[in-house]
Amino acid sequence: MSTNVLGLTRALAYAADAHANQRRKGAAQEPYINHLIEVLDLVARATGGEDEELLIAALLHDVVEDTPISAEDLAAAFGARVARIVVENSDDMTLPKDERRRQRIAAMAHKSPEARIVKTADVISNLRAIAVSPPAGWGMDRRLGYLEGCRQLISAGRGANAVIETLFDETAAEAERAIRADAGLEGDGADVIARHLDSVIGQAVHLVYVPNTAKRAITDADMDLLCETISRNFPSATVQHADSIFDGSRRQILLARIRSDSTDAVVALAQRLCIVFDQRFVGIEVGGRYIRVYADDTG
């Protein structure tokens, strides 16, 4: 078996373990590893697939930004060049979202050609997802705004690889057509996530889960904060302590049952709870289906 194949399979196992409990932010909630494999495939097709370190960096491009793995960990496992490419494409997550976006565009022209290739592949994959499975509450204007930001980013760093840049242009045009075609179907965007639940008798009941990713003890103050946040927009709800299994371990969580005919309002509540409880995501059940809602839904 070639060294190239062994290196890639090792990186694939590494990525699968690092991102094991992550899913994409759109309605389909695909396992995050699907996105990483798509980026790997895009880079391989655009470059011929001979540069093993570049392919590994494509597969691991989010591991420093989105997991506890450090650049030093990555360098020890796969070498300095792989770590450099990944770090070039890792945002400073302590900054506000708008500032991260500004810095991302400003830095694009100064990245290495390898890093720009990986970033372009990443953006192509994200655009494909936004076109067919956007995050909760994204209507046409929000999706088109995201598309324009992607165009600005790629325009700032052109010249690294003509094949993948051409594919980006084609993907952006296809995404815009798809988003505009959906406009007449999706109303204000929330029914891309789930159709409003029609009930002959009574109102739909939505479940909201605050996941407690820090695994700390849940207190009465947490319950009071949950009640206060819900009461701003809903006249009544049932709230309770609960236990869950997440990341392979048992932990305390907060659970709310809310009666509402508006999926939009439940999504907005989940986004507020992400901020209030400092959670990367909050889970909701809509029509018997579980999805994650993110406060920071930049894609």
Residues annotated catalytic, as ranges: 65-66
Burial-class residue 263 by CB neighbours within 10 Å (0-12, 13-18, 19+): buried
Name every residue whose Cβ is closer than 8 Å to that of residue 135 and which is 6 or more positions away in sequence. Answer: 25, 26, 27, 293, 294, 297, 299
Q: Is the distance from CB of 171 to CB of 62 less than 8 angstroms?
A: no
Structure tokens at 119: 């970033």
Measure the CA–CA gap between 212 and 28, rounded to whole angstroms: 23
How many whole angstroms separate alpha carbon 90 and alpha carbon 105?
A: 13
Which single residue is written with the structure tokens 């990245």? 111
SS3 state of residue 93? coil
User: How many Å apart are CA 81 and CA 103, to the nearest integer?
Assistant: 22
Q: What are the tokens at 38?
A: 């798509």
Nearest-CA neighbor of 265 among 181, 206, 180? 206
Q: What distance in Å separates the CA atoms of residue 144 and residue 18, rounded to the nearest whole number?
A: 31
- Residue 280 DSSP code: S
